[in-house]
């Protein structure tokens, strides 16, 4: 073989070796494209319960307009799934006004995501149901408990009172956007952490354990529903003290095909 032929053969070999890695992606592009899964759009809104009546910037009608403007395919309410189809008169005796109103307004678009304890699953809630539960009975004993009157516990009690005052001020004066911009959520986290320290080492530790478990159930139930409804718009209405747990759940455990929509309306 001549020197020219040898050089041409070597060049051809080097070119083929250089181009070989490109062949796999080119081949891969010929495979059938996987269908794109449209994400669910989730907006989590904290309500004020009866404080909607006194807040001049975030009344019931402000909440209802906010939800309607989102144009939801589904509306999640902080009620047990088994209660969603309950009699309206009975619902009004055990649930806040906004829950009852939104249940009536959105009908078959409503789903419930709350959990109030396994002992109540599937059972109708009586008026004043909480006081008769183990946690409610335990809560009623905290006022006279000597273990909560040590200097250390009393210092924590003062801190709890201070945070509660700050929370109340927000709920009585803030707009929907401000209640849901994360600052109130931070107060809730501070309150929960302080309450845990207050009850730790006492017979009342089960109260914070129940509260933590309930919030975890709420967040997981919402995530499960959102994952099953890709491409749809879901408005979730929570009590003000539960929104932080839901938002932190999604921040720490990103859910595939779920996009979080902030509350932007004033």
pLDDT digits (tens, 9 = 90+) for 115-145: 999 888 888 888 888 898 999 999 999 999 9
In tens, the pLDDT along 173-218 reads 999 999 999 999 999 999 999 999 999 999 999 999 999 999 999 9
Report the alpha-carbon distance of residue 199 to residue 207 in Å, rounded.
Answer: 8
- Looking at residue 24, what is its pLDDT? 46
Residues 95-104 pLDDT 10s: 999 999 999 9
pTM: 0.84
Return the pLDDT at 34.
Answer: 62
Output helix, strand, coil percentages for the chain, rounded to the nearest 5: 60, 10, 30
Given this model, what pLDDT does residue 23 score? Answer: 45
Average pLDDT for residues 42-60, to the nearest whole number? 98
- List pLDDT tens digits, range 82-95: 999 999 999 999 99
Beta carbons within 10 angstroms of residue 97's beta carbon: 14
**Residue 264 confidence (pLDDT) above 90:** no
Query: Which whole number is the average pLDDT over 11-19?
Result: 41
Other CB atoms within a 10 A radius of the CB of residue 26 amount to 9
The answer on pLDDT for 21 being more than 60 is: no
Give me the pLDDT at residue 192, please: 98
Burial (CB count within 10 angstroms: exposed 0-12, middle 13-18, buried 19+), residue 122: exposed
Helices 205-227 & 243-252, crossing angle to 10 degrees? Answer: 60
Of the two residues 4 and 89, the one the predictor is more confident about is 89
């Amino acid at each position: 073989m001549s020197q020219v032929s040898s050089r041409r053969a070597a060049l051809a070999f080097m070119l083929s070796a250089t181009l070989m890695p490109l062949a796999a992606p080119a081949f891969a592009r010929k495979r059938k494209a996987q269908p794109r899964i449209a994400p669910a759009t989730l907006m989590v809104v904290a309500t004020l319960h009866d404080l909607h009546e006194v807040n001049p910037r975030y009344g019931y009608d402000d909440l209802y307009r906010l939800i309607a403007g989102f144009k939801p395919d589904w509306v999640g309410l902080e009620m047990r799934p088994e209660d969603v189809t309950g009699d309206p008169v009975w619902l009004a005796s055990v649930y806040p006004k906004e829950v009852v109103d939104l249940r009536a307004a959105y009908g078959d678009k409503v789903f419930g995501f709350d959990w109030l304890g396994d002992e109540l699953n599937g059972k109708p809630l009586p008026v004043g149901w909480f006081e008769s539960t183990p946690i409610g009975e335990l809560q009623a004993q905290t006022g006279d408990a000597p273990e909560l009157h040590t200097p250390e516990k009393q210092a924590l009690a003062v801190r709890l009172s201070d945070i509660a005052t700050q929370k109340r001020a927000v709920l009585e004066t803030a707009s929907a956007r401000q209640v849901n911009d994360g600052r109130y959520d931070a107060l809730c986290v501070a309150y929960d952490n302080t309450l845990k320290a207050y009850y730790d080492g006492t017979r009342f530790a089960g109260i914070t354990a129940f509260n933590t478990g309930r919030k975890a159930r709420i967040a997981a139930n919402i995530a499960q529903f959102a994952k099953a409804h890709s491409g749809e718009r879901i408005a979730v209405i929570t009590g003000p003290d539960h929104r932080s747990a839901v938002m932190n759940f999604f921040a720490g455990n990103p859910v595939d095909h779920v996009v979080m929509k902030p509350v932007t309306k004033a």
